[in-house]
Structure 1
Amino acid sequence: MKPLRTSSLRVRVTLTAIAVLLVVLPVTGLTVKAVFDAQAERSLDSLLTGRAQLAQQLARQNVAPGNLVRRIDADGVRVTLILRTGQQLGAPPVEPGGTVRQVRATLQAGQRTRGATLLLSADTALLADASAHLRNVLLISGAAAILITALALVVGMRFALAPLDAMTGLARSIAAGRRGGRLEPDRPDTELGRTAAAFDEMLDALEGAEGAARRSEDRMRQFVADAAHELRTPVAGLQTAAETLIQLGPAAPAERREELELLLVRESRRAGSLVADLLELSRIDAGLQLDLAQVDLRHLAESQAARIRLVAPDVSVEVTGSGTVTADSERLAQVLANLLDNARQAGAQAVRIAVGPTGLLVEDDGPGVPVEVRERIFHRLVHGPQSKGAGLGLAIARGVARAHGGDLTVTDRADGRRGAAFRVHLPRGA
């Protein structure tokens, strides 16, 4: 991308306006002069023609030749009347051409003027002088207009660009760390108003993103601290069991050694499970890659129900309904497994899995979830009163559901009985 040209806007606008004037004023001046010259020529022709017509009328009225010459005389017009006898009245005749415009007419009436030749001459030098004077006036006025315009633009641009100066000042104050300033245009429907409104919206978005990033950073720090705290317990158990085994040595009683070895296995599994959950959350945060295919939700629910009946024979699991969606079967199985394990750990004795065309509904007869904590239980490292895990299962389950374009929520049971209802919603065609 080419760098933005950032020459002075004041200079660019001023030079552009002067350039426009340098083009417009000469064109306008030439047009005015041409119109003036043409109009002057027409006026002169009309004057001479009109004097000739007046002479014809006076001749028809049998006006004496001398009186006729005096009556058709006019400023700028040279009148010469040559009678049939050769007598000349008025000004001496001149030859047409050069700066002389002449109209010749033969009078058609009158006792003494019939057949007389009338010469009407006009000197066009006066028109040329007027045209030259007009040209000089146009040149002087045009130069003055350009000079005045340039001075006015220099002063006016300071006022006209004041909103841009305000935007620049606000941007620099934001860059300096001062937040909260806004332009707040009084007329957002104008060009500058729309620009200022867009500038304010950009600042709102930037400050919102900055606040969100800060909150995300705070949550991440808290998450890391909580994860470290959760890992400390199994690591401490591993360390204690290992140190005790070393201290007891080969002569340790078999029962004691077996107890410590079981503790090592249990704590290592606990630590491994926590690390696996943390890695799963990091994959969700980075954008979970899904292996999408047609999934029979009824078959998936039956598989997980069979697993629960195997690990917890005292818990009854019922599966109803049917449905098929486009999803990642392993990820959906992970979500359903988390929900069933949570229900079992919460003390539920009966679980019902309702399968539908847009997801799953898992209802249990456990203690339920109070309204005030129904959103909090999906946060990371949040333990319920009966929870035996690290508090990451529901966060992972919701992350997987949202990666499919759906969601995971919790409500009361539809029949009003004691317990909780977790709904896995998948959009149609997900």
Structure 2
Amino acid sequence: MSAPHVPVKRADFDQVMVPNYAPAAFIPVRGEGSRVWDQSCRELIDFSGGIAVNVLGHCHPRLVEALTEQAGQLWHVSNVFTNEPALRLAQKLVNATFAERVFFCNSGAEANEAAFKLARRVAHDRFGPEKHEIISALNSFHGRTFFTVSVAGQPKYSDGFGPKPQGITHVPFNDLAALEATISDKTCAVVLEPIQGESGIRPAEQAYLEGVRKLCDKHNALLIFDEVQTGVGRTGDLFAYMHHHVVPDILSSAKSLGGGFPIASILTTQELAGYFSVGVHGTTYGGNPLGCAVGGAVLDIVNTPEVLNGVKARHEIFKTRLQQIGAQYGLFDEIRGRGLLIGAQLTEGWLGKAGQVLAAAEKEALMVLQAGPDVVRFAPSLVIDEADIDEGLNRFERAVARLVNQG
């Protein structure tokens, strides 16, 4: 018999948790599909998707089945041994992408850390220690380890922790001329998000990505795509690089890969993978049987024409309605993104107030996100019912109307 649950409340967070987060005033306790219920049994529609993680919504039956079945067989053996779910998931990723080799870890930050380390190791062994410089985009986001926040182009996340890793340069996103002026034979890698997420849902331009690929080839630098947020169907393709037909050398994936269970990966070629020989890099939990079993079920469902085409169709529903709401209330004036990674840019009079929009939406029983202070972000389940989309957008419109009426 399990012990009874100790009652908890939101105020307990401020007593026992490190204050690096400021969670909402309510505590979700149950989820099903795109609906969530809090401690008071209030029902909310979820357009946040756990920050683009809950790719199939909450408690999808296939994922629950995969996790439960694996939980009764094998939880953890470490990487002293391999395991069947990890091998099956790796094979599925290799079959579905450019990759020939897969490395599993636990989070997007770990995946990017591994990608950056691999790029530097490749350059070191091929060309020597001078070829170590990494170029990233201003306002990018690549995780919260010290290396990844330093590579990301947002000083607010990396300042205040002492001397930063050297050899990292930042250039404007979508500015090929700036990259061309910066890249050199000392550059080991260029890292980009196909859609910048945390800085406002800003898609890369086709010509830009094509040009970046050519510059990397010219200077023997690796091209790394951070698809932590865009990967596993989020944009309507299995990975965003497929839309652009620009193939990276290394790709990082997390968030949607586990549908809510922590798992991440980097994808790369056989040749590059060889530079991570035994002992060069590792992780205790990476490739955990539980996470890989769930990830395999996620991939089986998402990587189908039905789901991927459905993502594109749902994008049009969101975009059309959001444009109508924006035109009517004057709160936002541009809808950006692809698939079900959508950003609504606030108008000049509302800049800096995305947090107020989130708070107003919560009062109407709707969960949304922000992407910086000026953009409201939507990242719902890829299989969200159209009825939930309609009802959620009705709630969002009521929230917007209330905000505008209050001035």
TM-score norm. by structure 2 comes to: 0.20
Which protein has the larger Cα radius of gyration, Structure 1 or Structure 2?
1
- Structure holding more helix per residue: 1
TM-score norm. by structure 1 comes to: 0.19
